């Protein structure tokens, strides 16, 4: 009797394995889920439920097209600077309104202190920034709508491309008027500690973009010296900004820190020119420490780009995690192009509008490695 029961159980097991039913592996618990509970998209599908996404800080964003500077990577070195002055300028044209308490010579400032706000209200020609923001929001709304409709062939591919171009142009026009600010007030702020040495404008005065507002004497400044190959001499001569890495690995820009370019050496040494910037000494920037630098010219091109932290590299192969639905992801190989230290240009592997993991990708990778036993297959 026992022998017959054992034979019957073995028969059922063989039948189950040969049924051809598709399974997929869960990165949650190591359990298998058949398509009866959750339809499998492909054999490489990864299950990472919403609870774990929240627990490990997994964040997804849609792939978008935008301006991508044709940056150049170079080696940089930080050194103490004897220059202690930094001029804070208006990021956009408009009426300057001093922060509460006003501005006065000798006033102390700290990182993040807002000195003034720029407004275009009351300027001849109307509120240009408000109009640009309204045009941007309208173009963005139409572009996002067409991104969905084109997938169902409700709008043509030509109409979709036109709305995408209109959205890109509206965003670039708004950034040009606001100094790169899409949402929120246009502020003149200090990103370092020091004292106001002089105030160059009056409260309520009209200022042009780039006009000096105040001069601050910083407590500590650093020189960023960048070794640029001589073949990029033209770019170096015109470059006004650069991205560098702090000792913690954070990417910051010279302009974002309130720094500025000093100039580029005229004579090449060993095939390199020296481009020098002045930056405030902040957390993560230490004199005497080398750093990676990406020169950021004002010119560039439009295309798909993704955050650098979204990229997973294994043995020279670059991949990203594409979100298929609420708790399913697919690891997809991508071909990358130029990098500006913060984002990668995407040449192949992704389409505009796809959801990818931009934060927490390493947790999904590690969970996948731990969840799949050696020699285990997703298909049974």
Output the tens digit of pLDDT for each of the chain's 380 residues: 444 443 443 343 334 334 333 334 445 444 444 444 444 445 567 888 888 888 888 899 888 887 776 788 899 999 877 666 788 898 888 889 998 888 888 888 887 788 999 887 766 555 777 788 889 999 999 999 999 998 888 989 999 999 999 999 888 888 777 767 777 788 898 877 778 888 999 999 999 888 999 988 776 788 899 999 999 888 888 888 999 988 888 889 998 888 888 888 877 788 899 999 988 878 788 888 888 899 988 766 677 888 888 898 888 888 999 998 888 888 989 998 878 777 888 888 898 889 999 888 888 888 766 544 444 444 43
What are the residues whose beta carbons fall under 8 Å from the beta carbon of 14, sequence distance 6 or more?
Answer: none
What predicted TM-score, i.e. pTM, was given to this entire model? 0.47
Tokens 């954070």 — which residue?
Answer: 250
Burial of 303 (0-12, 13-18, 19+ CB in 10 A): middle
> How far, CA to CA in Å, does 297 sit from each of 193, 243, 263, 301, 379?
28, 11, 14, 11, 50
Q: Print burial letters for 39-69: b (CB count within 10 Å at least 16), e (below 16).
A: ebeeeebbbbeeebbeeeebebeebbbeebb
Distance separating alpha carbons of residues 214 and 89, to the nearest angstrom: 7
Contact 218, 123 (CB under 8 A): no
């Amino acid at each position: 009797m026992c022998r017959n029961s054992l034979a019957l159980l073995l028969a059922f097991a063989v039948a189950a394995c040969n049924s051809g039913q598709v399974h997929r592996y869960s990165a949650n618990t190591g359990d298998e889920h058949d398509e009866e509970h959750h339809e499998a998209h492909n054999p490489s599908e990864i299950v990472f439920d919403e609870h774990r996404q929240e627990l490990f800080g997994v964040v997804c964003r849609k792939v978008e097209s935008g301006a991508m500077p044709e940056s150049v990577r170079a080696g940089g070195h930080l050194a103490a600077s004897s220059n202690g002055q930094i001029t804070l300028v208006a990021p956009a044209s408009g009426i300057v309104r001093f922060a509460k308490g006003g501005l006065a010579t000798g006033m102390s400032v700290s990182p993040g202190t807002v000195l003034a706000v720029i407004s275009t209200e009351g300027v001849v020609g109307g509120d240009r920034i408000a109009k640009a923001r309204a045009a941007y929001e309208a173009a963005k709304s139409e572009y996002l709508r067409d991104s969905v409709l084109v997938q169902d062939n409700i709008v043509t591919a030509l109409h979709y491309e036109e709305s995408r171009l209109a959205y890109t142009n509206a965003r670039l026009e708004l950034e040009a008027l606001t100094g790169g600010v899409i949402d929120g007030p246009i502020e003149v702020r200090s990103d370092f500690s020091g004292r106001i040495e002089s105030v160059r404008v009056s409260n309520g005065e009209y200022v042009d973009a780039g006009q000096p507002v105040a001069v601050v004497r910083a407590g500590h400044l650093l020189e960023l010296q960048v070794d640029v190959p001589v073949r990029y001499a033209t770019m170096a001569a015109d470059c006004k900004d650069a991205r560098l890495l702090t000792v913690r690995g954070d990417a910051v820009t010279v302009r974002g820190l309130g720094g500025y370019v000093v100039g580029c050496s005229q004579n090449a040494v060993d095939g390199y020119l020296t481009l020098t910037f002045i930056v405030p000494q902040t957390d993560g920037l230490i004199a005497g420490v080398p750093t990676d630098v990406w020169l950021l010219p004002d010119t560039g091109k439009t295309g798909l780009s993704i955050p650098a932290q979204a990229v997973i590299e294994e043995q020279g192969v670059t991949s990203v995690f594409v979100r298929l639905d609420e708790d399913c992801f697919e690891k997809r190989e991508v071909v990358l192009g130029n990098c500006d230290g913060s984002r990668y240009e995407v040449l192949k592997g992704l389409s505009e509008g796809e959801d990818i993991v931009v934060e927490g990708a390493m947790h999904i990778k590690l969970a996948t490695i731990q969840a799949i036993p050696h020699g285990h297959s997703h298909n049974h």
